[in-house]
Amino acid sequence: MADQGKSQQVADQLAEIEKSQQAAGQLEMPEIFRHVPWFHHVAIFSACESLDEALFYVNKVAKEGWSRSMLENQLETHLFQREGAIPSNFETTLPAEQSQGAQQIFKDPYHFEFLSLQENYTEHELEEALVHNITHFLLELGKGFAYVGRQMELRMEDGTAFFPDLVFYHIPQKRYVVIELKAVEFMPEFAGKLNFYVTAADELLRGEGDNPSVGIIICKTAKKTVVEWSLKDIQKPLGVATYELEQIVERTVLELKLREK
């Protein structure tokens, strides 16, 4: 009954907006809806709690061509709440016209339920598992990411070499993304190291027409204030996200279902 009431409330809001748009001769929203299969609509309006959330998923399906199973997975893992939620310093380190766009291509937390790891896994094992499951990892990162390399050598003129964990390129935004993985809680010193890697990516990888590189630390846990203070005086655009493995994701989903009863 709760699901029926929730979906009816969203549908009522949509109907009101559609009526007002029709009266004004604005039919953009119905055009978007025609690109979304019926069963996708049913899944969206059964799961969403607001019109904004429903339209978020409708737009994702229409623009990115999600299958029904992919939509259901994104609904279950609450992509609407996760996308753009990453703590970052993009607002102060990127041009104004780029900061919001960069914010939206990252999530917090990332869901790594596709990994099979032992209880006391290491950072190396986490990295190895993500590369082994690179297709799933790219799907979780989101549309537009291209895998460049793992432990990619960044060699300075004097021969000194550094090896960031993972390097990606975001094609629509034309920028390199350096990712450092941490199987522990976030520590302030992580930001300084990644700041250097992003500088190196700008100096050694960034080409003509590329936008500034960004760096992301994906760690097991993070304290909000520690992250904010760590990024406050960093000069390069960095963000800090956390990740969740299968057992945590399943427990979170179960807890949310129990709260709805």
Residues 70 and 125 grouped into a single domain? no
Residues 189 and 152 grouped into a single domain? yes
**Which tokens hold the place of 225?**
């204030």
Q: How many domains does the chain have?
A: 2
Residue 206: give the domain boundaries. Answer: 90-250
Asked whether residue 164 is domain-assigned, the answer is yes
Each of the 261 residues of the chain gets a pLDDT tens digit; together they read: 555 555 555 555 555 545 554 544 444 455 767 777 777 767 777 777 777 777 777 777 777 777 877 777 777 766 666 665 688 999 999 998 998 889 989 988 899 989 989 888 999 999 999 999 999 999 999 989 999 999 999 999 999 999 999 999 999 999 999 999 999 999 999 999 999 999 999 999 999 999 999 999 999 999 999 999 999 999 999 999 999 997 544 455 555 555 555
Give CA separation, 243 vs 107, 194, 218, in Å.
Answer: 10, 18, 7
Residues 133 and 236 grouped into a single domain? yes
Residues 17 and 59 grouped into a single domain? yes
Looking at the DSSP assignment, which residues form a beta bridge with residue 149? 167
What does 110-148 look like in DSSP terms, one character per residue? EEETT----TT--HHHHHHHHHHTHHHHHHHH-TTEEEE
Asked whether residue 256 is domain-assigned, the answer is no
Q: Among 53, 76, 99, which residue terminates a domain?
A: 76
Helix, strand or coil, per DSSP, at residue 29: helix
- Domain containing residue 241: CATH number: 3.40.1350.10
Residues 138 and 210 grouped into a single domain? yes
Asked whether residue 221 is domain-assigned, the answer is yes
